[in-house]
């Protein structure tokens, strides 16, 4: 079976220095040449809808991507009504698509998530569907019954698409408590009255309960449990089921498999307000094991409403509930990754983003426990307006040279801009077809044609020259390490406070920042190096800010106590007064004296920036503006400036006036050396200790002098040059007519020839 997408892990980075011509295979004539398989790929994504399921319905779209784009990696998912993955007809249709895409020179992947096979899963395991418990308070009467009607939610997201939403398929009464209130619930008055209530009706449409009157108790909380058309995240069979789907599709020449935005169904408003909770009997068993025997349904009352004198108990319950959410979703993602490698081969690709709601926010906490950093992927990928600080950190965790962000918009201008802006932050754009907005009258195919316009693809092809020399991610001298448990505990002192403002202020001063949760300490991914520097993957940090460590274990204090402040300056924002079980803990006493506590975010940023300036850490392109999306925005660098990769590569971008690139002319001085240049849009250089060039990428290049190279071209070209481990030069040229010019041939005879549109 043919595999062509490499695993871009740290151990494989040396392969990027030597693109293999043998990895190329014959493809039909196209206006574009695809990148070799051993450099970071260019990625497209599309969803197969009902019209594409007609015989040959996918062919015009595959043809479009093959002929009008440079993309190699072709991520495909389903947006079909009643076409589950396990249906043999669906398998056969997708087999035709995969074969056809291969013939056209694309590397197809498929989304084989169990959510695309929900009805067959329901038929196989009817007792293992996801449940949601909704809570409703009702005022009690002292002398008569009070009726309470609770209706189910109907979550829907991208995975339901044109298919059936996560509808309720059953409903039942779970529990009823009666109590008195004085603002807070008075715990001594709580009584379980479930057996005294009368169920009037309980089905998929709602649960209606008659609650009897009570003396001395003014309020009741009714808990209705609804079963939804979605596999239970804690299902005993979900791991084997997703493996079965992967095995079913193993007969195809897939490049790999994707998994997109996994987690509980959509976090609807009642979930975010903590008036509803995801639930199932296996979840309850896991909770009992985690808490030493506590009952999850009982604790829903505690988690939802404040109870006098039980603040710490409430915080502990939330911590355990949220940690199980995180751990189980990471387990499912990890098993999916392992299953793909075991079934399709170790060189098969596992990708797409774990980010769902593209912010660090309660929607994400309740869906997947904010598991982004712990999810196994071959490439770091996010989507929409995910904070750039998370994007850069994930590049360090996944081990690749770049991060990818999947983006869509109703108009084309944001796509243009993000090509350059992502590159200036060490990233690349994944192309999702335009979504929403005008023109309403265009056909689906015309929407794709608009995305693959020659102008956009030309800009994309210019930036892709960086892929030949990008061996390491962007250099982020600062990490903001936020307390994972504290962030997600809505009864704690720092709920939803991630340190985003600190990170933003630091990068606005020209210093890129990685954001990392404290759970990566326990995971072993965030390390202290032998010389005492904090390190994440290949990234060593000059400064680290610990944000709101409340609820951390003593191990977090031990971790920071091993840091050498001469290597990594430490700063803390927020108190640490108790451990994960909300028991008193002198957390501050566990931290080293060198970790300075600062009172507010702005002061933290000022302290870090002053330290970096004093120690002469070079600045990079600051966060300059915001990319709009869905009424919100993503802070990114602008359309001009410089960034630095960990290995010392400097990338200069210029595209403010012309989104095809502005002139870069004259003497350009970088850390380690300088060149005199005449290029357009992009220039990247890496020097050795003697000031000689080890790598170069430039677009629209006419002239370059310096670093041991002298290049003068009559015809401007997009060029990449790099030395391998033995010091031998290799190159790539794009849109060069005729023979390789003598000045380039004198450097090396080993060139990849690329086409970038007609």
Query: What are 702-758's pLDDT values in tens digits?
Result: 999 999 999 999 999 999 999 999 999 999 999 998 999 999 999 999 999 999 986
Residue 2 has pLDDT above 60, yes or no: no
Question: In 10 A of CB 192, how many CB atoms?
Answer: 13
Residue 627 has pLDDT above 90, yes or no: no
- The predicted pLDDT at position 17 comes to 32
- The predicted pLDDT at position 8 comes to 42
Residue 16 has pLDDT above 50, yes or no: no
Distance between CA atoms of 253 and 251, rounded to whole angstroms?
Answer: 7
Residue 186 has pLDDT above 90, yes or no: yes
In the block, tokens 């350009």 appear at 668
Q: Band the pLDDT of 332: cuts 50, 70, 90.
A: very high
E strand or H helix at 29, and its extent? none
Average pLDDT over residues 136-144: 92
Average pLDDT over residues 569-592: 97
Q: What angle do CA 370, 47, 356 make, to 5 degrees?
A: 10
E strand or H helix at 492, and its extent? none
Question: In 10 A of CB 728, how many CB atoms?
Answer: 12
Cα dist from 222 to 155, 164, 730, whole Å: 21, 28, 70
Distance between CA atoms of 152 and 170, rounded to whole angstroms?
Answer: 9
Distance between CA atoms of 324 and 283, rounded to whole angstroms?
Answer: 8
Question: In 10 A of CB 356, how many CB atoms?
Answer: 24
**Token digits for 430?**
């994944």
Per the CB < 8 A criterion, the answer to whether 515 and 390 are in contact is yes
Residue 233 has pLDDT above 50, yes or no: yes
Q: Band the pLDDT of 411: cuts 50, 70, 90.
A: confident
Provide, rounded to the nearest whole percent, the portion of the chain with pLDDT above 90.
87
- What pTM did the predictor assign? 0.94
- The predicted pLDDT at position 29 comes to 55
- The predicted pLDDT at position 601 comes to 95
In the block, tokens 């006098």 appear at 308
Q: Which conformational region is residue 548 in: left (phi greater than 0), alpha (psi within -120 to 50 degrees), or beta?
A: left
The residues, ordered by sequence, that sit 6+ positions from 126 with a Cβ below 8 Å of its Cβ are: none
Q: Band the pLDDT of 444: cuts 50, 70, 90.
A: confident
Query: What are 463-514's pLDDT values in tens digits?
Result: 999 999 999 999 999 999 999 999 999 999 999 999 999 999 999 999 999 9
Query: What are 352-397's pLDDT values in tens digits?
Result: 999 999 999 999 999 999 999 999 999 999 999 999 999 999 999 9
Question: In 10 A of CB 194, how many CB atoms?
Answer: 17
Phi, psi at 289, each rounded to 5°: -65, -40
Query: What are 17-74's pLDDT values in tens digits?
Result: 333 323 344 444 578 899 998 899 999 999 998 888 889 999 999 999 999 999 999 9
Q: What angle do CA 34, 659, 697 make, to 5 degrees?
A: 50
Q: Band the pLDDT of 338: cuts 50, 70, 90.
A: very high
Distance between CA atoms of 486 and 722, rounded to whole angstroms?
Answer: 46
Average per-residue pLDDT for the chain: 93
- The predicted pLDDT at position 19 comes to 33
- The predicted pLDDT at position 631 comes to 67
Strands 526-528 and 650-654: unpaired
Beta bridge partners of 73: 43, 107
Cα dist from 398 to 358, 373, 404, whole Å: 19, 9, 11
- The predicted pLDDT at position 758 comes to 66
Q: Band the pLDDT of 630: cuts 50, 70, 90.
A: low
């Amino acid at each position: 079976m043919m595999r062509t997408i490499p695993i871009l892990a740290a151990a494989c980075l040396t392969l990027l220095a030597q693109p293999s011509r043998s990895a190329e295979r014959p493809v039909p004539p196209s206006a574009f040449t695809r990148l070799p398989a051993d450099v970071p790929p260019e990625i497209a994504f599309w969803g197969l809808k009902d019209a594409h399921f007609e015989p040959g319905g996918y062919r015009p779209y595959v043809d479009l991507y093959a002929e009008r784009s440079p993309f190699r990696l072709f991520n495909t998912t389903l947006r079909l009504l009643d076409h589950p993955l396990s249906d043999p007809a669906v398998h056969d249709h997708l087999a035709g698509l995969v074969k056809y895409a291969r013939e056209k020179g694309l590397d197809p992947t498929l989304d084989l998530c169990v959510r695309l096979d929900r009805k067959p899963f329901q038929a196989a395991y009817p007792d293992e569907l996801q449940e949601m418990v909704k809570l409703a308070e009702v005022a009690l009467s002292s002398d008569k019954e009070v009726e309470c009607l609770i209706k189910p939610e109907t979550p829907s997201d991208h995975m339901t698409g044109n298919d059936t939403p996560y509808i309720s398929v059953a409903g039942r009464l779970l529990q009823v408590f009666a109590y008195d209130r004085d603002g807070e619930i008075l715990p001594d008055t709580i009584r379980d009255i479930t057996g005294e209530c009368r169920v009037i009706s309980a089905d998929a449409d709602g649960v209606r309960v008659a609650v009897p009157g009570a003396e001395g108790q003014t309020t009741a909380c009714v808990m209705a449990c609804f079963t939804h058309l979605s596999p239970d995240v804690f299902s005993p069979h979900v791991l084997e089921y997703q493996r079965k789907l992967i095995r079913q599709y193993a007969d195809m020449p897939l490049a790999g498999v994707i998994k997109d935005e996994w987690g509980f169904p959509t976090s609807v408003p009642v979930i975010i307000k903590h008036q509803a909770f995801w639930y199932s009997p296996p979840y309850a068993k896991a909770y009992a094991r985690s808490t030493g025997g506590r009952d999850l349904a009982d604790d829903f009352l505690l988690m939802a409403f404040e109870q006098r004198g039980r603040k710490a108990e409430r915080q502990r319950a939330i911590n355990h509930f949220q940690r199980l959410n995180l751990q189980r979703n990471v387990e499912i993602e990890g098993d999916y990754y392992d299953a793909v490698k075991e079934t399709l081969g170790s060189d098969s690709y596992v990708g797409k983003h774990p980010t769902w709601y593209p912010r660090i926010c309660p929607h994400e906490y309740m869906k997947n426990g904010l598991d982004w950093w712990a999810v196994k992927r071959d490439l770091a990928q996010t989507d929409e307006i995910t904070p750039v600080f998370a994007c850069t950190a994930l590049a360090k965790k996944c081990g690749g040279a770049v991060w990818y962000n999947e983006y869509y918009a109703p108009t084309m201008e944001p796509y243009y801009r993000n090509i350059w802006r992502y590159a200036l932050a060490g990233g690349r754009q994944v192309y999702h077809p335009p979504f929403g907005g005008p023109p309403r009258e265009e056909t689906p195919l015309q929407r794709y044609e608009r995305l693959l316009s020659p102008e956009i693809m030309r800009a994309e092809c210019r930036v892709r020259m960086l892929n030949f020399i990008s061996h390491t991610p962007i250099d982020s001298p600062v990490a903001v390490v936020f307390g994972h448990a504290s962030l997600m505990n809505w009864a704690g002192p720092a709920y939803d406070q991630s340190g985003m403002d600190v990170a933003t202020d630091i990068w606005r001063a020209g210093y890129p920042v990685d954001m990392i949760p404290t759970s990566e300490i326990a995971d072993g991914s965030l390390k202290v190096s032998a010389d005492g520097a904090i390190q994440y993957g290949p990234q060593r940090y000059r400064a680290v800010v610990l944000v709101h460590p409340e609820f951390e274990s003593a191990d977090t204090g031990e971790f920071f106590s091993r840091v050498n402040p001469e290597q990594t300056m430490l700063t803390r924002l927020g108190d640490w007064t108790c451990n994960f079980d909300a028991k008193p803990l002198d957390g501050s006493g566990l931290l080293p004296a060198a970790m300075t506590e600062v009172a507010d975010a702005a002061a933290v940023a000022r302290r870090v920036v002053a330290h970096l300036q004093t120690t002469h850490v070079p600045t990079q392109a600051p966060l300059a503006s915001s990319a709009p999306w869905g009424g919100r925005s993503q802070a990114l660098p602008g359309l001009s400036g410089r960034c630095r990769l960990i290995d010392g590569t400097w990338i200069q971008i210029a595209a403010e006036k012309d989104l095809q690139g502005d002139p870069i002319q004259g003497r350009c001085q970088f850390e380690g050396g300088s060149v005199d240049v005449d290029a357009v849009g992009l220039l990247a250089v890496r020097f050795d200790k003697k000031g000689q060039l080890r790598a170069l990428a430039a677009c629209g290049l006419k002239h370059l002098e310096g670093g041991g190279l002298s290049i003068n071209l009559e015809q401007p070209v997009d060029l990449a040059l790099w030395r391998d481990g033995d010091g031998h030069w290799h190159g790539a040229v794009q849109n060069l007519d005729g023979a390789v010019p003598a000045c380039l041939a004198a450097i090396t005879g080993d060139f990849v020839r690329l086409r970038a549109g007609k």
